[in-house]
Amino acid sequence: MKCLRLVSAAFAGLIVLSACGGGRFAPAAPAAPVGGGVSAGAHSAKPATTQYKLLYSFTGTPDGASPLAGLLAVHGTLYGATLNGGASGHCNLGCGTVFSVSRSGSESVVYSFKGNGSGQTDGLWPFASLTALKGSLYGTTGGGGAGDGAVYTVTTAGSERVLYPFTGGTDAQDPEAALIVAKGKLYGTSVYGGGSGCGGNGCGTVFQISPTGTEKVLYRFAGGTDGSRVYAGVTYLHGALYGATFAGGGSGCGGDGCGTIFELNPTTGKEQVLYRFSGTTDGAFPNGLTVAKGVLYGTTEGGGARSSGTFFSVTTTGTFQSLYSFKDIPDGNLPGANLLYLKGTLYGTTVGGGTKGDGSVFAITTAGSENVLYSFTGGSDGSDPQAPLIALKGTLYSTTYAGGGTGCGGGGCGTVFGVAP
């Protein structure tokens, strides 16, 4: 089992540590070569005037703490998950919660995870956003279940059950990404599992699960040219699944590879690598993909002109283009979440950077013209936003991992916020 991920935005590269010794370490990518073959596209516009609203600040107990997950809108109410906190459980920092919050800021705990212990097997540490299917909410936990994470379902009234407990080994281990729905089935990924490679824990998987809990591993990464460590979820387009591996694909970025973009046939399980990152101007350590007019767009957490991440596009035939390199201050650093496509513009968050170094909300066109919509200050407004944005009635909503107060060791327990571009 992989334990709590701890995220630091204080470095040029993202450090995500696991208490069990695993986890995600993305050192600063090597400097870009002069005259590199991929366009960095550095077109940054002036910051836009944006209205920011704080909806809720977490306190840890009993409401939750450290939301890495984004939000889901159900009948006008926002639902999300916190990695830690909650009313009870067998975890030092709390096992996490599912919560709801109104657009006026009224928050309610829907479910508090108990973790494994005293006969409890409900799961612990929900990293990812919830997904809705036929009136129920579905999510993943990085731990708990049978010990290696779980897929769970929960109603808006708070009735929770584990849909599938992962056992590690060949099935999967440590699912940390949101599920997607395609043709009535749920698809997800796991960071580890699938075999004995990548140090013994496996290199990650893509899996399918029915709403009744029948699970099937579609692909097991080998950790070589195909990639490894699938932190991001998959995207469905024209009958195929598309996704990114955080590492693997080559020997760059310290020898573990800088990540890949892949295509997967959900029927046959055949995988094809569309692009392998080099860690230079093209970026390193990619996140999930977003579809805009038949083209896939995404970000990397490293690489680029200033080792602060990139924005890129890739077609389903593998034509890749690096469109923008983040500069840290003032535009952002470590764009770690999936992008939101809305009316011709893509919106996202950065863990660090912005004018104060505490993260930003940004807008970027498909041509690579970027605007900072809001820069976090690290105070009551929040800091370290690591979740994707959603749009509801003209406002963008998401969470910050920290900030919002002085709890949780002084750095704040995180927030729910809205930004009206």
Confidence of residue 145 (pLDDT cuts 50, 70, 90): confident
Which position has the token pair 């470590």? 334
- Whether 74 shows a pLDDT value over 90: the answer reads yes
Confidence of residue 147 (pLDDT cuts 50, 70, 90): confident
Please tell me the distance from the alpha carbon of residue 323 to that of residue 379, in angstroms, as a whole number. Answer: 32
Pick from 82, 8, 5, 4: nearest CA to 383: 8
Element (H, E) at 410: none
3-class DSSP assignment, residue 199? helix
Contact predicate 221/245, CB 8 Å: yes
What tokens does 180 get?
A: 């997607």
pTM of the entire predicted model: 0.89
Domain range summary for the chain, segments of one domain joined by + = 42-61+337-421
Residue 421 contacts by C-beta under 8 Å, 6 or more apart in sequence? 48, 50, 347, 363, 373, 396
Confidence of residue 86 (pLDDT cuts 50, 70, 90): very high
pLDDT value of residue 90? 75
